[in-house]
Chain A
């Protein structure tokens, strides 16, 4: 087998197999989303290197494709708590490890920004419903 220097026990793998759709847990074991897309940095020699995982509806929409994907992104953008059109971006340095079902972060979900939609929905919708406090 190829020597593993990834720190994740996976020297060679396929994105569908070990990254995409994995549940993301923060350092407190709180589920904060799923891996919806990957971001690559292009090195000077032209090699793309994994730099971040992307999550949230604006990351998932383009993967769905077609009208459903367009609709998904459009709705997600209208619900966004800020004007930033980019998906939630978690740098690869903040990922601790990945296993068969989950990807674990070294940071909390609030630091990663993955809970911002949930917080916005809590503040703007849920708390305004009687008994929603």
Chain B
């Protein structure tokens, strides 16, 4: 499966509500070991919803920091994106991904990153 097959898919929650498109994926190094003894990256979650243009322009990471007004606005928008665990994906039939939880049960990217920093 290529990443490009996932990016841009529309995500629909358990109640049939559209959550927007997939803009990014979260990778966690806890997969099987590779030939060099390193843990391979597992696709852990999809980043969905708000901030499509901001993600494309690279404001989802620290490397892009300006110009000030745009960076501030785009960063705030990106933090409202939702994080959908891959384990909740019930059906992947490009261009639609159906998940087994409702929007209200998902965390925002801001909350997910805060929890990551705390662990």
> Interface on A for B, CB 8 Å cutoff?
1-2, 4-8, 10-21, 37-40, 42-43, 47-51, 54, 59, 62-63, 65, 92-93, 100
B104 at the interface (CB under 8 A from A): no
Shortest distance between the CB of B59 and any CB in chain A (Å): 10
Contact B43 A6 (CB under 8 A): no
CA distance in complex: A73, B80 (Å): 33
The listed residue with most B CB atoms (<10 A of its CB), out of A37, A47, A51, is A47
CA distance in complex: A10, B20 (Å): 28
Query: Which residue of B4, B27, B34, B119 contacts A13 across the interface (Cβ within 8 Å)?
Result: B27
Contact B116 A12 (CB under 8 A): yes
In the complex, residue of chain A having the shortest beta-carbon distance to the beta carbon of B28: A12
In the complex, residue of chain A having the shortest beta-carbon distance to the beta carbon of B117: A1
Which chain A positions have C-beta within 8 A of B60? Answer: 14, 16-17
In the complex, residue of chain A having the shortest beta-carbon distance to the beta carbon of B8: A65
CA distance in complex: A49, B34 (Å): 11
B65 at the interface (CB under 8 A from A): no
Q: A50-B40, A50-B41, A65-B8 are in contact. Are A40 and B29 (CB under 8 A)?
A: no
Shortest distance between the CB of B63 and any CB in chain A (Å): 7
Shortest distance between the CB of A47 and any CB in chain B (Å): 5
In the complex, residue of chain B having the shortest beta-carbon distance to the beta carbon of A45: B87
Shortest distance between the CB of A88 and any CB in chain B (Å): 13
Contact B86 A48 (CB under 8 A): yes
Which chain A positions have C-beta within 8 A of B117? Answer: 1
